[in-house]
Amino acid sequence: MEDRSSDIIEIKDSSVNVRELMEEIESRLARKPVSKEELDRLSRWKFSPQSPEGYREFDAAETAHLFEKGISPPKFTNPRFKYIRGPIRWAFIKLIELYSFLDKKLSENRTRAFYSVLNELILLRGDHEKLKRKFEKFYNEFVELNYSLKREISPDFVWSNEFLYEEESLEESETVILSRLNPGDSVLAINPEWGKFLKQLLKAQIEFKAIVWNSAQYSYIKEHITNSIQYLSFDEMLPAPPLPTKIVSHSNLCLLPNWVLEKLFKSLATKTSPGTEFIFRYSNYSNRLVSPFQPVLLTQIEDSALREFIHKLGFKNIVETKSNDGFVVLSFRK
């Protein structure tokens, strides 16, 4: 059993009976009173499908080692070999070792061919990951466009059904945001779009609460990712105080209307406590469409004017970090 996060437990051993394990958990819960938070956490446990070999990620180094390992002499622990002892056992072991040595020498061409195929598999795997990330960006843009045109669709992102530890397609600016969060932090995630960034928070074992202003996004996140999500209207904007000490938004601020952004920052100035840290990101250009025809985003942000606006609201320690993916990571404190 491997614990990948506080909410996700993966079982690789096919000999483990998931049904018996769940019955044991239920019987223990019946004997021991638990809190609602613990029940919510247990309800989000997921088990990998059973397979004859169990699930294991492809490891090129381990595969190459197994190929070169060759034949090993038996340990003679099986009772069927109990009569093979003394000089006969020694001769038997030496014969197997000689055969293994000759097999390696006679199969040098086969070994070179194997490594050639292995190298090609590694390259193909890298290309597959790049294509998958590019597809997700196009698909996310497609979903957003349809919702902006008031078309009702049911999105189905590939990453929503994958294991957490397999999803490594973070943008550089998202990595910057994650690097400033720790498992012990109290985090509020604002407008997490369709929840992909929330899966990274789960993977990093960072406890959080999240709010969205889109009912469709709320339903999708609640069904596929986490129950720690709250749907609010633009009139409410933020939950009632007290708010967590770290407030982040990985979504591009420029995708929101200008009046929503003004109201958001003013609400943060009035509802948060001194010492609260804020980490946002924005880009005046679409970073998801690989096309010469860029859409006009709802809001254009001017860097110096934004700093002055935030400073007048009483925020301090304003720092802008530009990343190579086209985003600016904006951090400041109350």
Q: Tell me the pLDDT tens digit for each residue of 272-287.
A: 999 999 999 999 887 6
Asked if the structure places residue 40 within a domain, the reply is: no
Taking the C-alpha atoms of residue 51 and residue 47, their distance in angstroms, rounded to an integer, is: 12
Residue 120 lies in a domain: yes
Instruction: Tell me which of 98, 119, 149 is where a domain ends.
Output: 149
Question: Is 30 inside a domain boundary?
Answer: no
d(CA 204, CA 111): 40
Whether 44 is in a domain gets the answer no
Would the pTM of this model clear 0.75, i.e. be above it? no
Q: What does the angle CA 184 – CA 190 – CA 195 come to, to the nearest 5 degrees?
A: 85
Predicted confidence at residue 313, as pLDDT, reads 94
Determine, yes or no, domain membership for 12: no
Domain match, 251 and 298 both: yes
Q: Are residues 89 and 221 in the same domain?
A: no
118, with CB counted inside 10 A (0-12, 13-18, 19+), is: middle
Instruction: Looking at the structure, tell me whether residues 291 and 196 fall in a common domain.
Output: yes
Identify the three-state secondary structure at position 280: strand
**pLDDT value at position 231?**
94
Q: What is the pLDDT of residue 239?
A: 92
- Same domain as 126, residue 223: no
Residue 66 lies inside a defined structural domain of this protein: yes
The CATH number of the domain holding residue 271 is 3.40.50.150
Q: Binning pLDDT at 50, 70 and 90, where does residue 145 land?
A: low
Higher pLDDT residue, 92 or 178?
178
Judge if 87 and 203 occupy the same domain.
Answer: no
Q: For the chain, how many structural domains are there in total?
A: 2
SS3 107: coil
174 in the same domain as 305: yes
Q: Single out the residue in 149, 180, 213 at which a domain terminates.
A: 149
- Within a domain: residue 5? no
Q: What is the pLDDT of residue 1?
A: 43
| 168-172: average pLDDT | 73
Band (165; pLDDT cuts 50, 70, 90): very low
Average pLDDT score over residue span 316-331: 91
- Cis peptide upstream of residue 33 (ω within 30 degrees of 0): no
- Does residue 66 have a pLDDT over 70? no
**What's 204-258 look like in SS3?**
CCCCEEEEECCHHHHHHHHHHCCCCEEECCCCCCCCCCCCCCEEEEEEEHHHCCH
Residue 2: strand, helix, or coil? strand
Domain co-membership, 94 together with 189 = no
Give the residue from 149, 182, 210 where a domain finishes: 149
Do both 199 and 316 map to the same domain? yes
Averaged pLDDT, 64-90: 63
Output the average pLDDT for the chain.
77
Report the C-alpha dihedral over residues 141, 145, 150, 154, rounded to 10 degrees: -30
Is residue 7 in a domain? no
Report residue 272: phi and psi, to 5°: -100, 160
Whether residues 172 and 318 share a domain: the answer is yes
Which pLDDT score, from 0 to 100, does residue 205 have?
A: 87
Question: In the predicted model, is pLDDT for residue 3 greater than 50?
Answer: no
| pLDDT of 82 above 80 | no
Same structural domain, 325 and 178: yes
Q: What is the domain extent for residue 324?
A: 166-333
Q: Give the pLDDT confidence score for residue 45 in this predicted structure.
A: 58
pLDDT band at 318 (very low <50, low <70, confident <90, very high): very high
Whether 204 and 293 share a structural domain: yes
pLDDT at 95: 74
Please check whether residues 171 and 306 belong to one and the same domain. Answer: yes
Among 48-57, 108-117, 154-163, where is mean pLDDT lowest? Answer: 48-57
